[in-house]
Structure 1
Amino acid sequence: MMKALFLLAGVAALAACSEAEPEAPVAEETVAAQAPAGSVAAGTYDVAWSDGSTSKFTINDDGTYSGTRDDVTDTGTYEMKGGKICFTSAAEGSEEECWTNTEAAADGSFSSVSDTGENVTLTVAAAEPIAAPVETAPAAQ
Protein backbone atom coordinates (compact mmCIF):
# COMPACT_ATOMS: atom_id res chain seq x y z
CA MET A 1 0.00 0.00 0.00
CA MET A 2 2.76 2.44 0.92
CA LYS A 3 4.62 1.70 -2.32
CA ALA A 4 1.50 2.65 -4.25
CA LEU A 5 1.38 5.96 -2.44
CA PHE A 6 5.07 6.50 -3.18
CA LEU A 7 4.36 5.96 -6.84
CA LEU A 8 1.60 8.49 -6.71
CA ALA A 9 3.89 11.06 -5.18
CA GLY A 10 6.61 10.48 -7.70
CA VAL A 11 4.33 10.87 -10.60
CA ALA A 12 2.97 14.21 -9.48
CA ALA A 13 6.31 15.75 -8.80
CA LEU A 14 7.97 14.65 -12.01
CA ALA A 15 5.17 15.88 -14.21
CA ALA A 16 6.08 19.39 -13.23
CA CYS A 17 9.60 19.03 -14.61
CA SER A 18 9.00 20.18 -18.17
CA GLU A 19 10.98 22.78 -20.10
CA ALA A 20 8.11 23.44 -22.55
CA GLU A 21 6.02 26.56 -22.20
CA PRO A 22 2.34 25.95 -21.49
CA GLU A 23 0.08 26.53 -24.49
CA ALA A 24 -2.62 28.14 -22.38
CA PRO A 25 -2.39 29.87 -19.02
CA VAL A 26 -3.46 27.89 -15.99
CA ALA A 27 -6.02 29.61 -13.79
CA GLU A 28 -4.63 31.01 -10.57
CA GLU A 29 -7.11 28.86 -8.67
CA THR A 30 -5.32 25.71 -9.83
CA VAL A 31 -1.79 24.42 -9.41
CA ALA A 32 0.68 25.43 -12.10
CA ALA A 33 1.57 22.24 -13.94
CA GLN A 34 4.71 23.67 -15.58
CA ALA A 35 7.90 24.35 -13.67
CA PRO A 36 11.54 24.93 -14.64
CA ALA A 37 13.51 21.78 -15.42
CA GLY A 38 14.79 20.11 -12.27
CA SER A 39 12.08 21.52 -10.05
CA VAL A 40 8.74 20.27 -8.83
CA ALA A 41 5.44 22.14 -9.05
CA ALA A 42 3.77 22.23 -5.67
CA GLY A 43 0.06 21.48 -5.60
CA THR A 44 -2.59 18.79 -5.46
CA TYR A 45 -3.05 16.20 -8.20
CA ASP A 46 -5.72 13.64 -9.08
CA VAL A 47 -4.06 10.31 -9.89
CA ALA A 48 -5.56 7.66 -12.17
CA TRP A 49 -4.00 4.23 -11.55
CA SER A 50 -3.72 1.44 -14.12
CA ASP A 51 -6.25 -0.66 -12.17
CA GLY A 52 -8.91 2.05 -12.61
CA SER A 53 -8.70 3.41 -9.06
CA THR A 54 -8.04 7.07 -8.28
CA SER A 55 -6.35 8.95 -5.49
CA LYS A 56 -5.14 12.41 -4.44
CA PHE A 57 -1.54 13.47 -4.06
CA THR A 58 -0.06 16.75 -2.77
CA ILE A 59 3.46 18.05 -3.38
CA ASN A 60 4.61 20.78 -0.97
CA ASP A 61 7.23 23.47 -1.62
CA ASP A 62 9.21 22.33 1.44
CA GLY A 63 10.22 18.94 -0.06
CA THR A 64 7.40 16.94 1.55
CA TYR A 65 4.41 15.12 0.10
CA SER A 66 1.20 13.45 1.20
CA GLY A 67 -1.10 11.10 -0.62
CA THR A 68 -4.25 9.15 0.08
CA ARG A 69 -5.27 5.95 -1.68
CA ASP A 70 -7.85 3.43 -0.48
CA ASP A 71 -8.31 5.42 2.74
CA VAL A 72 -4.60 5.08 3.57
CA THR A 73 -2.56 8.27 3.86
CA ASP A 74 1.19 8.34 3.34
CA THR A 75 3.59 11.23 3.96
CA GLY A 76 7.28 11.67 3.36
CA THR A 77 9.93 13.60 1.48
CA TYR A 78 10.97 13.89 -2.17
CA GLU A 79 13.98 15.04 -4.17
CA MET A 80 15.02 15.20 -7.82
CA LYS A 81 17.72 12.73 -8.88
CA GLY A 82 18.94 12.34 -12.45
CA GLY A 83 15.72 13.63 -14.02
CA LYS A 84 13.52 11.50 -11.79
CA ILE A 85 11.53 12.39 -8.72
CA CYS A 86 12.31 10.11 -5.82
CA PHE A 87 10.05 9.68 -2.80
CA THR A 88 10.83 8.34 0.63
CA SER A 89 7.91 7.54 2.90
CA ALA A 90 8.01 8.45 6.58
CA ALA A 91 6.72 4.91 7.29
CA GLU A 92 9.26 2.78 9.13
CA GLY A 93 11.28 0.51 6.84
CA SER A 94 10.34 2.37 3.64
CA GLU A 95 12.73 2.51 0.71
CA GLU A 96 13.13 5.30 -1.82
CA GLU A 97 10.98 5.00 -4.95
CA CYS A 98 11.69 6.96 -8.14
CA TRP A 99 9.39 8.00 -11.02
CA THR A 100 9.92 9.38 -14.52
CA ASN A 101 7.30 11.86 -15.80
CA THR A 102 6.31 12.73 -19.32
CA GLU A 103 6.10 16.33 -20.44
CA ALA A 104 2.94 18.01 -19.18
CA ALA A 105 0.15 18.69 -21.70
CA ALA A 106 -1.39 22.15 -22.06
CA ASP A 107 -4.02 21.21 -19.47
CA GLY A 108 -1.31 20.19 -16.97
CA SER A 109 -1.94 16.43 -17.21
CA PHE A 110 0.97 14.00 -17.54
CA SER A 111 1.92 10.36 -17.17
CA SER A 112 4.51 8.91 -14.85
CA VAL A 113 6.14 5.51 -14.61
CA SER A 114 7.96 4.14 -11.59
CA ASP A 115 11.25 2.29 -11.71
CA THR A 116 9.18 -0.84 -10.95
CA GLY A 117 6.90 -0.29 -14.00
CA GLU A 118 3.76 1.17 -12.37
CA ASN A 119 2.14 3.67 -14.77
CA VAL A 120 -0.22 6.47 -13.69
CA THR A 121 -1.82 9.57 -15.18
CA LEU A 122 -1.98 12.78 -13.16
CA THR A 123 -4.07 15.89 -13.60
CA VAL A 124 -4.06 19.10 -11.65
CA ALA A 125 -6.84 18.91 -9.07
CA ALA A 126 -9.48 21.60 -9.26
CA ALA A 127 -9.17 24.16 -6.53
CA GLU A 128 -11.57 23.59 -3.68
CA PRO A 129 -14.10 26.41 -3.46
CA ILE A 130 -13.77 28.49 -0.36
CA ALA A 131 -16.98 28.39 1.62
CA ALA A 132 -18.42 31.74 2.54
CA PRO A 133 -18.67 32.29 6.27
CA VAL A 134 -22.06 31.50 7.68
CA GLU A 135 -23.64 34.60 9.05
CA THR A 136 -25.80 34.21 12.08
CA ALA A 137 -28.43 36.61 13.20
CA PRO A 138 -27.69 38.49 16.40
CA ALA A 139 -29.26 36.97 19.44
CA ALA A 140 -32.63 38.46 20.39
CA GLN A 141 -32.46 40.65 23.42
Structure 2
Amino acid sequence: MYNVSQPAPDFRMPGNGPLTRARDWLDARGKPAWIVAMILGFVLFWPVGLAILGYMIWSKRMFGCSNRSQRRAHYYAAPTGNTAFDAYRDETLKRLEDEHRDFVDFLQKLREAKDKAEFDQFMDQRDRKSED
Protein backbone atom coordinates (compact mmCIF):
# COMPACT_ATOMS: atom_id res chain seq x y z
CA MET A 1 0.00 0.00 0.00
CA TYR A 2 1.14 3.53 -0.74
CA ASN A 3 2.19 5.81 2.12
CA VAL A 4 0.07 8.98 1.88
CA SER A 5 2.49 11.06 3.97
CA GLN A 6 5.12 10.93 1.22
CA PRO A 7 4.49 12.79 -2.02
CA ALA A 8 4.46 10.66 -5.12
CA PRO A 9 7.55 11.11 -7.28
CA ASP A 10 6.87 13.16 -10.36
CA PHE A 11 8.85 11.55 -13.15
CA ARG A 12 7.62 14.10 -15.67
CA MET A 13 9.54 16.99 -14.10
CA PRO A 14 12.50 18.12 -16.15
CA GLY A 15 15.85 17.78 -14.49
CA ASN A 16 15.17 14.54 -12.65
CA GLY A 17 17.29 12.11 -14.63
CA PRO A 18 21.01 11.66 -15.11
CA LEU A 19 20.71 12.42 -18.83
CA THR A 20 19.16 15.80 -18.05
CA ARG A 21 21.90 16.57 -15.56
CA ALA A 22 24.55 15.52 -18.09
CA ARG A 23 22.95 17.71 -20.77
CA ASP A 24 22.87 20.70 -18.42
CA TRP A 25 26.48 20.06 -17.38
CA LEU A 26 27.62 19.95 -21.02
CA ASP A 27 25.56 23.04 -21.89
CA ALA A 28 27.22 24.95 -19.06
CA ARG A 29 30.62 24.18 -20.60
CA GLY A 30 29.63 25.02 -24.17
CA LYS A 31 30.06 23.51 -27.61
CA PRO A 32 33.62 22.18 -27.03
CA ALA A 33 32.30 19.95 -24.22
CA TRP A 34 29.66 18.53 -26.56
CA ILE A 35 32.27 17.83 -29.20
CA VAL A 36 34.55 16.08 -26.67
CA ALA A 37 31.59 14.01 -25.43
CA MET A 38 30.75 13.03 -29.01
CA ILE A 39 34.34 12.02 -29.78
CA LEU A 40 34.59 10.01 -26.57
CA GLY A 41 31.29 8.37 -27.46
CA PHE A 42 32.68 7.33 -30.85
CA VAL A 43 35.90 6.05 -29.26
CA LEU A 44 34.21 4.05 -26.50
CA PHE A 45 31.21 2.70 -28.41
CA TRP A 46 30.37 4.13 -31.83
CA PRO A 47 26.54 4.05 -31.46
CA VAL A 48 26.86 6.33 -28.42
CA GLY A 49 28.87 8.84 -30.43
CA LEU A 50 26.36 8.61 -33.25
CA ALA A 51 23.50 9.20 -30.80
CA ILE A 52 25.25 12.25 -29.35
CA LEU A 53 25.90 13.60 -32.84
CA GLY A 54 22.25 13.09 -33.78
CA TYR A 55 21.11 14.83 -30.61
CA MET A 56 23.49 17.74 -31.24
CA ILE A 57 22.10 18.21 -34.74
CA TRP A 58 18.46 17.72 -33.70
CA SER A 59 18.71 20.16 -30.78
CA LYS A 60 20.76 22.65 -32.86
CA ARG A 61 23.62 22.53 -30.36
CA MET A 62 26.05 21.69 -33.12
CA PHE A 63 25.54 24.97 -34.96
CA GLY A 64 25.45 27.26 -31.92
CA CYS A 65 21.72 28.00 -32.09
CA SER A 66 20.60 26.18 -28.97
CA ASN A 67 20.35 29.35 -26.94
CA ARG A 68 18.58 31.43 -29.57
CA SER A 69 15.72 32.23 -27.20
CA GLN A 70 18.22 33.37 -24.58
CA ARG A 71 19.89 35.68 -27.10
CA ARG A 72 16.52 37.10 -28.12
CA ALA A 73 15.69 37.79 -24.46
CA HIS A 74 18.90 39.81 -24.28
CA TYR A 75 17.43 42.38 -26.66
CA TYR A 76 14.39 42.91 -24.47
CA ALA A 77 16.06 44.43 -21.45
CA ALA A 78 14.29 45.20 -18.22
CA PRO A 79 12.57 48.55 -17.91
CA THR A 80 14.96 51.39 -17.17
CA GLY A 81 12.49 53.45 -15.18
CA ASN A 82 12.43 56.14 -17.84
CA THR A 83 9.03 55.57 -19.45
CA ALA A 84 9.76 57.76 -22.47
CA PHE A 85 12.96 55.85 -23.26
CA ASP A 86 11.30 52.48 -22.65
CA ALA A 87 8.45 53.37 -25.01
CA TYR A 88 10.92 54.61 -27.66
CA ARG A 89 13.04 51.47 -27.31
CA ASP A 90 10.02 49.16 -27.57
CA GLU A 91 8.70 51.05 -30.60
CA THR A 92 12.09 50.98 -32.30
CA LEU A 93 12.56 47.25 -31.65
CA LYS A 94 9.10 46.52 -33.02
CA ARG A 95 9.80 48.63 -36.10
CA LEU A 96 13.12 46.83 -36.65
CA GLU A 97 11.45 43.44 -36.30
CA ASP A 98 8.78 44.46 -38.82
CA GLU A 99 11.45 45.73 -41.23
CA HIS A 100 13.41 42.51 -40.81
CA ARG A 101 10.31 40.41 -41.48
CA ASP A 102 9.51 42.53 -44.57
CA PHE A 103 13.09 42.19 -45.80
CA VAL A 104 13.04 38.41 -45.36
CA ASP A 105 9.74 38.28 -47.27
CA PHE A 106 11.27 40.44 -50.01
CA LEU A 107 14.28 38.14 -50.28
CA GLN A 108 11.99 35.13 -50.52
CA LYS A 109 10.00 36.75 -53.35
CA LEU A 110 13.24 37.71 -55.06
CA ARG A 111 14.47 34.10 -54.89
CA GLU A 112 11.15 32.85 -56.24
CA ALA A 113 11.27 35.35 -59.13
CA LYS A 114 14.85 34.33 -59.94
CA ASP A 115 13.91 30.64 -59.83
CA LYS A 116 10.93 31.28 -62.09
CA ALA A 117 13.07 33.24 -64.56
CA GLU A 118 15.66 30.46 -64.64
CA PHE A 119 12.95 27.84 -65.12
CA ASP A 120 11.32 29.85 -67.93
CA GLN A 121 14.71 30.22 -69.60
CA PHE A 122 15.30 26.48 -69.30
CA MET A 123 11.89 25.71 -70.81
CA ASP A 124 12.50 28.14 -73.70
CA GLN A 125 15.86 26.52 -74.45
CA ARG A 126 14.28 23.07 -74.27
CA ASP A 127 11.52 24.11 -76.66
CA ARG A 128 14.08 25.55 -79.10
CA LYS A 129 16.10 22.32 -79.01
CA SER A 130 13.03 20.20 -79.61
CA GLU A 131 12.08 22.33 -82.64
CA ASP A 132 15.51 21.80 -84.24
TM-score, normalization by structure 2: 0.23
Structure with more contact order per residue of length (Cα contacts < 8 Å, sep ≥ 6): 1
Q: Which has the larger radius of gyration?
A: 2
The structure with the greater share of residues assigned to strand is: 1
TM-score, normalization by structure 1: 0.22
